[in-house]
A and B are shown apart, each in its own frame.
Chain A
Amino acid sequence: MSQEHLRVYEVFVRSSRGLDHKHVGSLHAESPEHALMYARDCYTRRSEGVSIWVVESKNITASKESDVEDFIDPMTDKPYRHATHYVLPDSVDNM
Chain B
Amino acid sequence: MNEQQTNLYRFLIALADDSIVLSHRLSEWCSNAPYLEEDLALSNVALDYLGRARMFYQYAAEVEGKGRTEDDLAYHRNEREYTNLLIHELPINDFAFTMLRQFYLDVFYVKYLQKLSLSQDKMIAAIAQKAIKESRYHLKRSEPWIIQLAQGTEESLNRILVAKEELNDFIGELFDMSEWEKSLAENGISVDRESIKAEWQAYVQGFFAQSDIELDSVELRVHGGREGIHTEHLGHMLSEMQYLQRAYPGNEW
Interface on A for B, CB 8 Å cutoff?
1, 3, 6, 27-31, 33-34, 37-38, 41-42, 45
In the bound complex, residues from chain A placing their C-beta under 8 Å from that of B37 are: 27-29, 34, 38, 41-42
Say yes or no: is B205 at the interface (Cβ < 8 Å to chain A).
Answer: no
Judging by beta carbons under 8 Å apart, are A42 and B40 in contact?
Answer: yes
- B45 to chain A: closest CB distance in Å? 9
B25-40 CB contact bits vs A (8 Å, 1 = yes)? 0000000001111101
Judging by beta carbons under 8 Å apart, are A31 and B40 in contact?
Answer: no
Say yes or no: is B180 at the interface (Cβ < 8 Å to chain A).
Answer: no
The answer for the CA separation of A5 and B36 in the assembled complex, in Å, is: 14
Nearest-neighbor residue (CB-CB) of A39 within chain B: B37
Judging by beta carbons under 8 Å apart, are B148 and A31 in contact?
Answer: yes
Judging by beta carbons under 8 Å apart, are B41 and A38 in contact?
Answer: yes
Among candidates A1, A28, A30, A31, residue contacting B36 with C-beta atoms closer than 8 Å: A28
In the bound complex, residues from chain B placing their C-beta under 8 Å from that of A34 are: 37, 144
Say yes or no: is B69 at the interface (Cβ < 8 Å to chain A).
Answer: no
Judging by beta carbons under 8 Å apart, are B35 and A41 in contact?
Answer: no
Interface on B for A, CB 8 Å cutoff?
34-38, 40-41, 44, 95, 140-141, 144, 148
Nearest-neighbor residue (CB-CB) of B47 within chain A: A45
Among candidates B41, B140, B144, B148, residue contacting A41 with C-beta atoms closer than 8 Å: B41
Judging by beta carbons under 8 Å apart, are B141 and A6 in contact?
Answer: no
Judging by beta carbons under 8 Å apart, are A1 and B148 in contact?
Answer: no
In the bound complex, residues from chain A placing their C-beta under 8 Å from that of B95 are: 1
- B163 to chain A: closest CB distance in Å? 15
Judging by beta carbons under 8 Å apart, are A37 and B141 in contact?
Answer: yes
Q: Top 8 nearest A-B pairs by Cβ distance?
A: A1-B34, A38-B37, A41-B41, A41-B44, A27-B37, A33-B144, A41-B40, A37-B141
The answer for the CA separation of A42 and B35 in the assembled complex, in Å, is: 13
Judging by beta carbons under 8 Å apart, are A37 and B41 in contact?
Answer: yes
In the bound complex, residues from chain A placing their C-beta under 8 Å from that of B34 are: 1, 3
- A13 to chain B: closest CB distance in Å? 16
In the bound complex, residues from chain B placing their C-beta under 8 Å from that of A45 are: 44
The answer for the CA separation of A2 and B197 in the assembled complex, in Å, is: 36
In the bound complex, residues from chain B placing their C-beta under 8 Å from that of A41 are: 37, 40-41, 44
- B103 to chain A: closest CB distance in Å? 14
The answer for the CA separation of A34 and B99 in the assembled complex, in Å, is: 14
> Which of A1, A28, A29 gathers most chain B CB within 10 Å?
A1
Instruction: Take A1-B34, A1-B95, A3-B35 as given contacts and tell me if A30 and B40 are in contact as well, using a CB distance cutoff of 8 Å.
Output: no
- A70 to chain B: closest CB distance in Å? 39
In the bound complex, residues from chain B placing their C-beta under 8 Å from that of A6 are: 35
> Which of B35, B36, B37 gathers most chain A CB within 10 Å?
B37
The answer for the CA separation of A42 and B44 in the assembled complex, in Å, is: 10
Nearest-neighbor residue (CB-CB) of B40 within chain A: A41
In the bound complex, residues from chain A placing their C-beta under 8 Å from that of B38 are: 38
In the bound complex, residues from chain B placing their C-beta under 8 Å from that of A30 are: 148
Name 29 interchain pairs, CB-CB below 8 A, sorted by A: A1-B34, A1-B35, A1-B95, A3-B34, A3-B35, A6-B35, A27-B37, A28-B35, A28-B36, A28-B37, A29-B37, A30-B148, A31-B144, A31-B148, A33-B144, A34-B37, A34-B144, A37-B140, A37-B141, A38-B37, A38-B38, A38-B40, A38-B41, A41-B37, A41-B40, A41-B41, A41-B44, A42-B37, A42-B40
